[in-house]
Structure formats: C-alpha cells, structure tokens
C-alpha cells in the first residue's frame, strides 16, 4: 500500500510577510531620526557630563579632576545666591502667570465682540522675539525718561530705579516674563475650557450655583490636567531663563538677577571655565528633573482623572 507523504508547509520568511515588511519600513524611516538624536542629543549630553569632570579652559590641555567641580559648587557662595535667585524667579513667575492666564482665558471664553482679535493680541508676545521684547521693556523701565516713572511723576511719586535696584530688579524681570509668556498659558486654558461639557454648567445652574461658583467648582476641576501641563512646562522654562536676563540686567545689580543659566554662560563663554560650566548644567538638569518628579508625584492629589 502506497504511503502518501505530505510535504511540510514552508514557513514564509519574516521579511516576506506583510507585518515584516511594514516593520522593516518603519525601522528604516526611524533610522534618520534616531541618528540625529544620537548625534545631536545623546552624545552632547554624555560629552557634557565628561566635560564636567575636567578642568579645561579651551586654551590649555584638559585635566581630569573627577567630582572637584561639583565639590566647588557646594562651596561657592555666589552659586548659593544664584540658586536662590533662580528659585525666586521661578516661584515669582508661576503663580501670577497661571492665575492671570486662568482669569483672561475665562473672559475670552465668553461670547464677546472681537474675540479673535483679543485672542491674537494676547498671543502676539509669545511669538515675538524675546530680545525685542526685552529691549522695549528696558526702555519702559528707564529711571529718568522711562514711561513708568514718567507716569508716576504725574501723580507726584518718584519711581524706583527698577533694573538698577537690588530690590526691584528681579520683580521687574518677573513682570516682563509674565507678560511675555502668559499668552501661551491662555491658549492652553482656553482650549481646555471649551471642552468642559455644557451639561455640567447647566446642572450647577439648576442647583443655584452662580458664575463664580461654577468657575471654581466645575471649570477649574475639569481643566486641572491642562493646569498641570502648563505648570510643569512653565517651571521647566523658568529654570532655563536666559534671554530676558541677558538683555535687561546682565545678572546685575550685584548678581541680584543672576540665574543658573546666565551663570553657566558666564563661566563657559566669558571666563572659559568649561568644566565648571558643565557641572552647573548638570546641577540644573538635576533640579529640573526633581521639580518635575515632585509635580508628577503630587498630581494624583489634585488633577482630575488621575487615580
């Protein structure tokens, strides 16, 4: 009796299958982006850490010093003051910027004439050059002929020296930063407010809640994810401030407005202490990471939809 032997089905090679070809094309398209990431992001980050372990002024041969730059930071009194200035700036910007953005976004969320014009006007500073904005505000703050002091003189008040005062320099910089960046927060909040279900407002009205109560007990809780996003991004941006400081005060007077990024710039590109500047950069990275992780850990307590 003849025995029929069935040939074993040949397995299709992985590359001949539709899934395999799609995966191959996906990897091929990712290669350029991955290469750019490795060359322009990962390698500089690793190289920067390596530089932070050196003593190098770009002119003389580098010398390995290990963690000496970080130890020097711990003992540097100027660095301690500058670290305090950075936190002062950050916590001086975030609360008023967030509160003002919420207030303006709530107003723009109403049906008013010229709404598109108002939205555009608030967003224009965001897309305007930071250098140009700073130069205009520098003129406004001018002690003798500036607009602010001229207006104060009309009512018999002698205005402060603003950017030349140890007391007023940082609040002046904070005011410029809030004015420059509040439009970004407004756009995010406005988009979130427009996504709040109208049924919730109607139910609150039926229960007798007024406009203010509906805003704080309906709108705010629903848009807390947007608020969380704005605060995280604002904190990161505040720790990285440079352009406004560079144009308005150049860190003065008496280091009253010197922040970490400006101090990094001074060490790296004015004094050519590249290793010390790299160490400052990594301390800045650590601070931003810690602040972000703290906010991420606390989000469950107040962000809507987080368990």
Domain ranges of the chain: 19-64, 69-301
Distance CA 195, CA 193 (A): 5
What percentage of the chain's residues is helix, strand, coil (to nearest 5)? 70, 0, 25
How far, in Å, CA of 107 to CA of 87, rounded? 31
Q: What is the pTM of this model?
A: 0.88
Is residue 98 within 8 A of residue 185, CB to CB? The reply is: yes
Mean pLDDT of 80-109: 95
Q: What is the mean pLDDT of the chain?
A: 91
pLDDT recorded at residue 1: 46
Rounded mean pLDDT, 70-91: 96
Fold classification of 69-301 is MetI-like fold (1.10.3720)
Q: In this predicted model, what pLDDT tens digit does every residue of 235-267 receive, in sequence order?
A: 999 999 999 999 999 999 999 999 999 999 999
Is residue 176's pLDDT more than 90? yes
Give the span between the Cα atoms of 166 and 257, in whole angstroms.
8
What is the average pLDDT across 183-195? 93
Q: How confident is the model at residue 162 (pLDDT cuts 50, 70, 90)?
A: very high
Phi, psi angles (nearest 5°) of residue 218: -120, -60
> What is the rounded CA–CA span in Å between residue 210 and residue 198?
15
């Amino acid at each position: 009796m003849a025995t029929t032997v069935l040939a074993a089905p040949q397995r299709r090679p992985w590359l001949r299958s539709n899934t395999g070809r799609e995966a191959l094309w996906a990897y091929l398209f990712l290669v350029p982006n991955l290469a750019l990431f490795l060359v322009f992001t990962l390698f500089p980050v690793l190289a920067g850490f390596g530089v932070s372990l050196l003593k190098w002024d770009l002119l003389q041969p580098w010398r390995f010093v290990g963690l000496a730059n970080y130890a020097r930071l711990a003992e540097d009194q100027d660095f301690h003051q500058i670290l305090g200035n950075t936190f002062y700036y950050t916590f001086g910007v975030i609360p008023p910027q967030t509160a003002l953005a919420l207030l303006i976004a709530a107003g723009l969320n109403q049906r008013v004439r010229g709404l598109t014009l108002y939205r555009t006007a608030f967003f224009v500073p965001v897309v305007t050059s930071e250098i140009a904005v700073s130069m205009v505000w520098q003129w406004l703050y001018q002690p003798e002929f500036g607009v602010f002091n001229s207006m104060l003189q009309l009512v018999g008040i002698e205005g402060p020296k603003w950017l030349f005062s140890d007391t007023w320099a940082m609040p002046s910089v904070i005011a410029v930063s809030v004015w420059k960046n509040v439009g970004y927060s407004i756009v995010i909040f406005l988009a979130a407010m427009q996504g709040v279900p109208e049924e919730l407002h109607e139910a609150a009205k039926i229960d007798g809640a007024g406009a203010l109560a509906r805003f704080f007990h309906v709108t705010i809780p629903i848009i807390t994810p947007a608020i969380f996003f704005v605060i995280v991004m604002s904190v990161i941006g505040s720790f990285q401030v440079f352009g406004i400081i560079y144009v308005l005060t150049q860190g003065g007077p008496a280091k009253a407005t010197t922040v970490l990024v400006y101090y990094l710039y001074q060490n790296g590109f004015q004094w050519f202490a590249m290793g010390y500047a790299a160490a400052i950069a990594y301390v800045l990275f650590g601070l931003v990471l810690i602040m972000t992780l703290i906010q991420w850990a606390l989000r469950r307590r107040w962000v809507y939809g987080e368990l």
